[in-house]
Amino acid sequence: MTALYNIYIHVPFCVNKCNYCAFYSNACGAPDWTDYKNKIISKIHYWRERIGNVKIPTIFFGGGTPSLMPTKVFAEIMNELHNSFDVATDAEITIEANPRTLDKEKLKEFIDAGINRISIGVQSLRDDELKFLGRIHNAKAALELIKIAQNEKLRVSADFIYGLPNHTTTDVKELCKNINSLGIEHASLYELSIEPGTPFARQNLQMPDNETMAQMYETIGETLNLPRYEVSNYGTPCKHNLNIWDGQPYLGLGDGAAGRILIDNQWYETLNEQLIPLENYDRTVEILMTGLRTIRGVLLTPEILKIIDTDFTNGEHFVIKNNRLIAKSFLTLDNLIVRLLK
């Protein structure tokens, strides 16, 4: 049976660093795209030698801002992936994009090179909030890019942030109603978190308290027309993320991209060309944590059963269905996982 490997390719370049961003990225006016492409292709060749001609069900270009990439560079990387691996004919190929970095013509070139799904970093539909967050676009530009992508028949996802200072459940309800009007098939709604080293971390922001945040989270579930399938994700599931959350191996290509690969029944974390062995317990805990974040839960494999207290699974917090352990609520999930482990 041919092994399945999902691929994540990190594009670390941005126009500027947003005020909340703690991801590995660089604000760079003129990236050396030839150097970037050559490094990615070199890594593709390296992993082809290590893992062979594996089947690729999903490819995800994340960032950073992948939509800044010249489409010729993108096409050369895609060609190398097809030459080196068995990319499925129905593979989900996603690119993250920010408004004001992509127009209709460039998007068509990305489509010609292989993408069939786009994840747009909208973050807010209010100009004052976008300015506060440090985004380079306004709401109009975001709406225009969504419409362009829909007209091109792409699967469209959009990211949003809630829980800004002074946000209330009313603000979140308004956001969800506006998202409903967009006609997109997928949305990710993330609570604003203040990460060390970011511009927001150096400001004394008055954030909503935990109770208010919980109420906002429940408001999303009550107002958004897209069904929740993971803690922060709604609508038609992203196959790439689902595969990874379910424990499938994945390659991480590019500076700052980690991966999880399986060789001779041994799991490894990958960082660039490094192979870092993972203890079976640690990898199983990862799969438990990511699986329980989804509404379909985690498959109760022998490895999972070894590390959990099965008596606790029969309580008020979990349900077992189709041999999957499913959390009844996501609001206290982190605490529940700690209690669930033996």
**Count of structural domains, the chain:** 2
Question: How high is the pLDDT of residue 324?
Answer: 96
Task: Report whether 130 contacts 98 (CB < 8 A).
Answer: no
Same domain, 291 and 205: no
Residues facing 319 on adjacent strands: 326
| Beta strand ranges found along 98-138 (DSSP E) | 117-123
312 shares a domain with 190: no
| Residue 257 confidence (pLDDT) | 92
Q: Looking at 242, 268, 290, which one is the last position of a domain?
A: 242
**CA–CA distance from 153 to each of 117, 143, 149, 186, 201 (Å)?**
9, 16, 7, 14, 40
Query: Beta 228-230 vs 250-253: how paired, if at all?
Result: unpaired
Only one residue has tokens 């991966």, namely 259
Edge-first strand listing for the sheet containing 228-230 = 228-230, 233-235, 186-191, 155-162, 117-123, 86-97, 55-63, 6-11, 250-253, 258-263, 266-271, 274-277
Are both 24 and 111 inside the same structural domain?
yes
Same domain, 87 and 172: yes
In a domain, 249, yes or no: no
Quick one: 128 and 185 in the same domain? yes
Helix orientation angle between 333-340 and 280-292, rounded to the nearest 10 degrees: 140
165 and 286 assigned to the same domain:
no
Has residue 321 been placed in a domain?
yes
Q: Judge if 199 and 118 occupy the same domain.
A: yes
Query: For position 190, what pLDDT does the model report?
Result: 97
Q: Which domain holds residue 335?
A: 280-342
Distance from C-alpha of 153 to C-alpha of 71, rounded to nearest angstrom = 19
Same domain assignment for residues 61 and 202:
yes
- 81 contacts 44 by C-beta, under 8 angstroms: yes
Residue pLDDT tens, the chain, 342 long: 568 999 999 999 999 888 898 877 777 778 999 999 999 999 999 999 999 999 999 999 999 999 999 999 999 999 999 999 999 999 999 999 999 999 999 999 999 999 999 999 999 999 999 999 999 999 999 999 999 999 999 999 999 999 999 999 999 999 999 999 999 999 999 999 999 989 999 998 999 999 999 999 999 999 999 999 999 999 999 999 999 999 999 999 998 899 999 999 999 999 876 889 999 999 999 999 999 999 999 999 999 999 999 888 877 899 999 999 999 999 889 888 888 997
